[in-house]
Structure 1
């Protein structure tokens, strides 16, 4: 079913639903000074768009069922986890400078609506009525194309990595003995941000599944994983988190070694990564200067300590003098 005759992919109805949903939650947040629904609104919006486009498409092919289930599973998982976490913590410090400013808050919710819509392009196009007809005509309903297999593997790997990383960090922070420490256990011992790695990989997985059926204009779905990468690599993701971590732990010798031996995003063996020259780390592992906020004095002080002490590090990256 095409809602608007000239919009064969149902992009406009998806945009309208997204704007209305985010505006509704913005009113709640702005009126009640309430942080708890923000991430929940984002995650559930993905689920709404996936189901909406699936039922509007009306073809119910195996590929469409698969992608809809995958996106709904991810959306339910992330929104449920983030809702649980914010209920436990009470407030979200991202909104400390916005909570009492309707205009700044509106800017955040506008960006969130844009994020949901762009990142959902893959599932929107796969479920589009025009694409459903193309699948039937060209007999592309099979889920066994190489692109489908690659996509499912990428999505499964990404979702598993993101889920495990989130819970490992949550349990680490829930332990009073870890107060004031940085998380370097489990997946966090081989990647400084394994949850973000998982997020990027799973959206490349959705795009890969769509590669079996995308028509010419639908290849713009590549904006979904690219936009996810842009946000996490250059905007509110890694730059902000690395700056905060450097500020809190930059004077700690064990943190500096952790940062030198554990890649920022792509999981890798710390002893091998530690031996990589800076050039290779930058080119292949995203270790760029914008993620380093240690002062020159701190780096020199830490270098002095490293040259005067014997140190060993266990497999989890924990320091032992």
Structure 2
């Protein structure tokens, strides 16, 4: 693999995110944040594919996957924030340049790290024929993005319905997972990684940090913990909501009847039901 690609993608990512950071800081315009993230993935995928110029089938497929994912997510989140107004994640950052800078630095790290499997595939001189890992990885990506798109659309339709104002979403896929969109997101990036493995040699296996990073981010930092805390704050005093949390998996799609009957240790160890996801509920609700 040409190691220059890693440096090039890092420079492009930092420059792209810096541009949007300056726009956000100067004009207090935070509606382009997610668009900047999604389109950055697209730029890296196309740039590395074109510069290498070998156009192997594996390279084209994975680059196309990233383009589809980036366009869909970037445009969806942009349209959503334009409809809803200001991005609440920036309520404590608009007037704090330091916090704002940290956010954009983390976004740059997210883009570059999660893009690593595709960057390495596109930069690699080793391109064996299609393997079983490719097929399985592609299937995982397809399932993941379909789950993510379906979950996003179901929640958007739910929240746009006046009769659902003041309610939590528990319809469609949200009946089987409290965060099905994150399940789809994690699954599709692990699929991309798996499809990259036929070309990996030596230190290139470190690209596993890509899907690991997105999983850790959603499970422990800016994904599920924030939304769980927000949901508990709004609905924690509602018995039906607490019942929904007890019976519904936090991530992996599972029938409520099955999930609700599982022992707590099993949920915590294998199904990511961590205690801090419910720290804002009454203490008795934590003894599941």
Give the TM interval when normalised to the shorter protein. over 0.9
- Secondary structure of the corresponding residue to residue 290 of structure 1: helix
Deviation at 1:294, TM superposition (A): 3.5
Cα deviations across residues 112-163 of structure 1 (Å, max 9, x unaligned)?
00110000001000000xx1x222xxxx1x33x1100110011001101111
**When the two structures are superposed, what TM-score results if normalisation uses the length of structure 2?**
0.97
What is the match of residue 207 of structure 1?
A: 193
Cα deviations across residues 297-319 of structure 1 (Å, max 9, x unaligned)?
6749xx9xxxxxxxxxxxxxxxx
Distance 2:282 2:65 in 1: 46
Inter-CA distance 297–234: structure 2 relative to 1 (3 Å threshold):
closer
- The gaps in structure 2 that reach 5 residues or longer are none
What is the match of residue 222 of structure 1?
A: 208
Contact 2:232/2:281 (<8 A) preserved: no
Inter-CA distance 216–278: structure 2 relative to 1 (3 Å threshold):
same
- Secondary structure of the corresponding residue to residue 34 of structure 1: coil
- Secondary structure of the corresponding residue to residue 256 of structure 1: helix
1:134 aligned onto 2:126:
yes
1:250 aligned onto 2:245:
no
What is the match of residue 50 of structure 1?
A: 45
Corresponding pairs, count? 288
Distance 2:32 2:167 in 1: 28
Moved more, 291-300 or 25-34: 291-300
Moved more, 98-107 or 220-229: 98-107
Cα deviations across residues 246-272 of structure 1 (Å, max 9, x unaligned)?
111111111111101110000001111
What is the match of residue 241 of structure 1?
A: 227
Superposed CA RMSD in Å reads 1.6
Q: Point out the structure with max Rg over C-alpha.
A: 1
Deviation at 1:280, TM superposition (A): 1.3
**When the two structures are superposed, what TM-score results if normalisation uses the length of structure 1?**
0.87
Alignment partner of 1:94 out of 89, 92, 114:
89
1:273 aligned onto 2:259:
yes
Contact 1:250/1:298 (<8 A) preserved: no
Inter-CA distance 22–295: structure 2 relative to 1 (3 Å threshold):
same
- Secondary structure of the corresponding residue to residue 211 of structure 1: helix
What is the match of residue 15 of structure 2?
A: 20
1:37 aligned onto 2:37:
no
Cα deviations across residues 72-98 of structure 1 (Å, max 9, x unaligned)?
000000001001001101100000000
What is the match of residue 108 of structure 1?
A: 103
What is the match of residue 159 of structure 2?
A: 173
